[in-house]
């Protein structure tokens, strides 16, 4: 369970980074890349930048805070997740050989929902 939560958090951080990294400082981008993608330790990053481990930790925490603030204001990660869930549901419905009237209505609802979220 704990590993699942940690993986969910890591996936969230990686997606937030993919979406919002251009809005971070160059140093924040580099350190997050090293820590989360390249699996550098705080100590390795500290040596790379000639700063303390505490400074690296603080930099990572500020960058993660910036990502969260950007998500709160812009909501692009949330929008992406919603769209992915709707697409998965639509794909699941389309796997049936014959669609019922209820399934057709649900597919139409999904398409309308996706259109409206893209127009906002």
Which is more confidently placed, 70 or 114?
70
67 shares a domain with 105: no
Number of domains composing the chain: 2
pLDDT of 105 over the 70 cut: yes
The model's pLDDT over 82-102, given as tens digits with 9 standing for 90+, comes to 999 999 999 998 888 888 899
Predicted confidence (pLDDT) at residue 116 exceeds the cutoff of 70: yes
**pLDDT at residue number 4:** 61
Same domain, 63 and 115: no
Task: Say how many C-beta atoms besides its own lie within 10 A of residue 24's C-beta.
Answer: 18
Dihedral sign (CA 41, 45, 50, 52): negative
User: Which residue range is the domain that position 23 belongs to?
Assistant: 2-74
> Are the C-beta atoms of 86 and 110 separated by less than 8 Å?
yes
Residue 97 vs residue 51, higher pLDDT? 51
DSSP string across 18-84:
HHHGGGS-HHHHHHHIIIIIS---HHHHHHHHT--HHHHHHHHHHHHHHHHHHHHHH-HHHHHHHHH
Residues 28 and 63 in one domain: yes
pLDDT band at 106; cut points 50, 70, 90: very high
Q: Are residues 56 and 8 in the same domain?
A: yes
Residue 69 and residue 86 in one domain: no
């Amino acid at each position: 369970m704990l590993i699942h939560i940690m993986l969910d958090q890591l996936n969230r951080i990686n997606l937030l980074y993919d979406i919002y990294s251009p809005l971070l400082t160059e140093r924040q981008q580099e350190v997050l890349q090293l820590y989360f993608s390249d699996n550098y330790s705080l100590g390795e990053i500290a040596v790379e930048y000639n700063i303390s481990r505490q400074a690296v930790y603080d930099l990572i925490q500020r960058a993660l805070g910036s990502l969260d603030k950007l998500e709160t204001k812009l909501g692009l990660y949330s929008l992406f997740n919603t769209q992915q869930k709707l697409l998965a549901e639509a794909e699941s419905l389309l796997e049936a050989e014959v669609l019922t009237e209820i399934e057709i209505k649900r597919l139409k609802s999904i398409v309308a929902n996706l259109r409206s979220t893209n127009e906002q």
